[in-house]
Structure 1
Amino acid sequence: MKGNSKSAAVPAAVTLLAVLLAACSPFRPDARTEPAAPLPVAYTLYSDKPAETGKWWEALGNSELNGLVETALAANFDLEQAWARLRQVRAVAVQSAAGKYPTLGATGDYKHTRSYTKGTKGGTATGETHAIGLEAGYELDLWGRIEAEAKGGELDYRASREDLSASAMTVAGEVVSRWLEIQSQRRKERIIEEQIKTNRTYLELIELRFRNSISTALDVYQQRQNLAKVNALLPPVKSREQLLLNELALLMGRPAGSVTVADAEVPEPRALPGLGLPADLLANRPDVRSAGLSLSSADWAVAAARADRLPSLTMAGTGQFTGAQLGTLFDNWILTLAGAVAGPIFDGGFRKAEVDKARAVVDERLAAYKSTVYTAFKEVEDALAEEKWQKRYLDALSAQLQASRVSLREAVSRYSQGLDDYLPVLSALMSVQDLEVSMASERTNLMLYRVALYRALGGTWTDSLADPAITVTGSVTTYSHSKKTGSKGQP
């Protein structure tokens, strides 16, 4: 009895030691106490208001535009691909965490034997064996390898979700930009059509003066040339508008030519939105969050690679019923418990190289994280600078346009009195008309710079996006092939 007690105590002690070692999990990434990419304390155009993180396009006050953006967020092909990638990464994350749990499988076996023995007492004999049982296995996470792999899978999934948010922000910004450019092209079209009417009026007057021997044939030819020049501006504008409509349709997941947009005025940018602090970009920019999560995943990959160099302990158990007939299947049973230790002795440096590779991935992702953070800060500063100087440029263009109009009136007056030829009138007229078209484009550019600022600041509105391919019924989640079905819950 004493021997049996001692032999039974040994595996119990081994199991207890293994559990204690598993609780230690010595291989874990060190916490990063210092910021990987420190940022300045404020922007060059500082705003003490908190950053706006909501659906910024709604502030433009156009319900049709709001609908276009929402449609694109639900049906854009790039976003559908991003959702599919996210589902793939989620499945991989589940697989990465599966090692934390025991495995259990069922076994079944049936054998039929037939034998023949030669001799006076020989003959044919048959036999059957039936067996059914369960097999269980569990690897004790002695060094934290399984935990590290599970953490890495979870972080990769979260990073993929942030990548999707970044794509959604891009889609929303592109839809708003296309809408603004379409309205700009229509504004330019109206300006050019008015200029064509004006040039025709001028041409009729000059032709009348020519018939009365007051103007020269050169004046008529010059005005005809200017009319032809303005007429030539119209086709590219119409073509550009149609291309923009086609791009908008693609962004919305629709075929070209199936989307129409009502006329609207390009809004003026309101007061500068709340910028928050540069450090807020770390929380508001999904690309920065994704880069940070990818870096953390790489840290856990190093821990997993280091733990993989040490021995592993696997516990296995089987239970089986056997019988010569189905009726006697449960008359005999056998239970087996076993533990197996496996560890590398010589692998040609494979596992050490895996650690080196994982550490190099950390270095790569750390550099990528820094680049992403500073790119985000640069994009905010760029948008602020562009808007600031665009406003001054528009003021200068407005003053130039006003001066050109005054010059045109004076040139027309002198030409009517016979004091000058038609060339000063033509020059002033072309200057005014060129500036009118430029002003329409530059006013739109000012609004596009504001859109760029909103995109650079990021936001949290993408957290409410739901996978359109998933529907939730009660507590059961099912996948649907329909685009438009789905819940608004988190994936």
Structure 2
Amino acid sequence: MNRRLSTSCLMSLVLLGGCSLEPKYEKPEAPIDQQWPASSASDCCSAKQAFDKDWHGFVLDERLRQLIDLSLKNNRSLRQFEAGVEEARAGYAGAESGLFPSIGLNTYAGRSKFPSQVRTQGGGVSSGSTANTFQAGGGFTSYELDLFGRIRSQRNAAGARFEATEADYQTARLALIGEVASTWLSLKANQNLLDLAQNTYQSQDHYGQLLHKSYNLGSSAQIDVHQADAQANTAAVQINTYRMQVAQDMNALRVLVGQPVPVGLLPTGVLGEQLATADVPAGLPSSLIARRPDIMAAEALLRATNADIGAARSAYFPTFSLTSAVGGLTGDFSRLLSAPAEFWSVALAGSLTLIDGGARKAQVDASHARFDGQAAAYEATVQNAFREAANALNARQEMLTQVDYQKRLVADYQAAYRQSRLRFEAGLDSYFSTMDAQRSLFDAQQKLTQMELAREINQVDLYKALGGGWSQSVKVANR
């Protein structure tokens, strides 16, 4: 009877070992449209041209590629995220280890002397003696049987948080790539603007000197001289401004790359003549943003909070711990491993909290609230990602049109300035007309450079908004 009862209890424990108190996880529906807003769409490309480039395919300029490679190796902030991933990996391994018993070995050797003239339990008198004790054994202590899934739920939560940490690292990596590219492009634009300001200053200084000579000969009015000097000084101020911005961009790149920037990797040429990044095809489905690492991180944290509910629920059920030992115990070392010295023990202990003043209910309620909060955070992350991508797509179309019109405007001002300069040199027009034409040309050229910069940075922003062509899946912890 007792044997059948023990067998029944053991079978019951085995069957209970498959229980899980985690709620069935269902990923929330993304609260966004299936397609981009009409103003963000384009018919130039089909959705079949799915954007699936890693950053090497996106960045076309070889110098910028090498600079990004350096930043990924040396950036200190990214190293912090890498360390966080390793910490989360260790945390997951620690949580998973709870599913297995900790088995250990122990040994003991002792020698004891008993005093003489001490009465023994049998009523006799001890004559004094010495005794040896040798013990060796092994086993496991307080191995919790995960009958109601508490340890598995904790393992699942740690695994999901590990995934979230890996996705956070990918988010930081993507942000670093974008920041290096944007700063490098900004440096190139400011170098172009500095060159433009220097050329304008040289031209205005040249005509200013001619006016000074003409004024000394009595052929020009003093107001013309003052106007020419004012224009030259304005260009000189612009030179100092752009020099400062170039220096700031260099300092920013130095921090991002984590070392002095090699001269051979600095930008050259005119911004816009050759794009540094690949064009992102339009006509892409909005579901593409689901692969953004920040969305993956938010969804992984949602799964973690779901597992936390299962761990909290398990507190309502008893816990069972198993302890065992096996080994040898003898006074003669040579007989330590012999059958007469052999001993073993197995013990099963259980505990159940009956009254806790509502602590367990509070834990379950809190875990449900955390899940609801993380679900809202996940949906907000998806909505924000959709907004960023839609804005970048919409700006992309508008910026292409703006740059095209601005190029035409620059060409018109160049023709007007050229004709005005020829008329001034021929004595057919005043310097005021030439000065005004040059000022208009300078302003238009500055704005074109700024538009080209905004267009290229928009490409980088769109690349990040669509997940950066990040095709590597987060390492999913085995379950």
Give the whole-Å Cα distance in 1 for the aligned partners of 2:450 and 2:318: 68
Give the aligned partner of residue 487 of structure 1.
Answer: none
Give the aligned partner of residue 462 of structure 2.
Answer: 453
Give the aligned partner of residue 320 of structure 1.
Answer: 327
CA 119–211 in structure 1, closer or farther in 2 if over 3 Å, else same: closer
CA 27–55 in structure 1, closer or farther in 2 if over 3 Å, else same: same
CA apart distance, 1:440: 1.3
1:443 aligns with 2:447: no
1:306 aligns with 2:308: no
Unaligned 5+ segments in structure 2 are 120-124
Deviates more, 1:267-276 or 1:68-77: 267-276
Asked whether the equivalents of residues 63 and 265 of structure 2 are also in contact (C-alpha less than 8 Å), the reply is no
CA 435–85 in structure 1, closer or farther in 2 if over 3 Å, else same: same
Task: Map 1:56-95; keep pairs closer than 5 Å.
Answer: 56=55, 58-95=57-94
1:206 aligns with 2:200: no
CA apart distance, 1:287: 0.7
Give the whole-Å Cα distance in 2 for the aligned partners of 1:107 and 1:275: 68
CA 449–463 in structure 1, closer or farther in 2 if over 3 Å, else same: same
1:130 aligns with 2:134: yes
Give the whole-Å Cα distance in 1 for the aligned partners of 2:267 and 2:404: 29
Give the aligned partner of residue 22 of structure 2.
Answer: 28
1:185 aligns with 2:184: no
SS state at 2:53 partner: coil
Q: Deviations over 1:210-267 (max 9, x none)?
A: 2332211111111011111101211221222222122222222215788851513433
1:251 aligns with 2:247: no
How much is the aligned-residue C-alpha RMSD, in angstroms? 2.8
Give the aligned partner of residue 226 of structure 2.
Answer: 221
Asked whether the equivalents of residues 248 and 259 of structure 1 are also in contact (C-alpha less than 8 Å), the reply is no
CA apart distance, 1:370: 0.8
Give the whole-Å Cα distance in 2 for the aligned partners of 1:409 and 1:254: 45
Give the whole-Å Cα distance in 1 for the aligned partners of 2:304 and 2:435: 67
Give the whole-Å Cα distance in 1 for the aligned partners of 2:261 and 2:217: 54
Unaligned 5+ segments in structure 1 are 1-5, 467-491
Give the aligned partner of residue 433 of structure 1.
Answer: 442
Give the whole-Å Cα distance in 1 for the aligned partners of 2:326 and 2:12: 25
Give the whole-Å Cα distance in 1 for the aligned partners of 2:70 and 2:261: 15
1:273 aligns with 2:281: yes
Give the whole-Å Cα distance in 2 for the aligned partners of 1:365 and 1:227: 59
Give the whole-Å Cα distance in 1 for the aligned partners of 2:469 and 2:438: 50
Asked whether the equivalents of residues 57 and 278 of structure 2 are also in contact (C-alpha less than 8 Å), the reply is no
Give the whole-Å Cα distance in 1 for the aligned partners of 2:87 and 2:145: 28
Asked whether the equivalents of residues 36 and 390 of structure 2 are also in contact (C-alpha less than 8 Å), the reply is no
Give the aligned partner of residue 7 of structure 2.
Answer: 12
CA apart distance, 1:323: 0.7
Give the aligned partner of residue 41 of structure 2.
Answer: 45
Deviates more, 1:441-450 or 1:247-256: 247-256
CA apart distance, 1:454: 0.7
**% identical aligned pairs:** 22
Give the aligned partner of residue 400 of structure 2.
Answer: 391
SS state at 2:325 partner: strand
Asked whether the equivalents of residues 295 and 378 of structure 2 are also in contact (C-alpha less than 8 Å), the reply is yes
Count of residue pairs the alignment pairs up: 459
Runs ≥4 residues deviating over 6 A: 256-259, 416-420
1:109 aligns with 2:91: no
TM-score, normalized by length of structure 1?
0.85
CA apart distance, 1:119: 7.0
CA apart distance, 1:413: 6.6
SS state at 2:459 partner: helix
CA 234–257 in structure 1, closer or farther in 2 if over 3 Å, else same: farther
SS state at 1:308 partner: helix
Q: Deviations over 1:418-463 (max 9, x none)?
A: 7775444433322221222222122111111111111111145463
Q: Deviations over 1:121-143 (max 9, x none)?
A: 55533323221111225432222
CA 59–290 in structure 1, closer or farther in 2 if over 3 Å, else same: closer
CA apart distance, 1:394: 2.8
SS state at 2:251 partner: helix
Task: Return the structure number with greater relative CO, CA threshold 8 A, min gap 6.
Answer: 2
Asked whether the equivalents of residues 327 and 344 of structure 2 are also in contact (C-alpha less than 8 Å), the reply is yes
CA apart distance, 1:16: 0.8
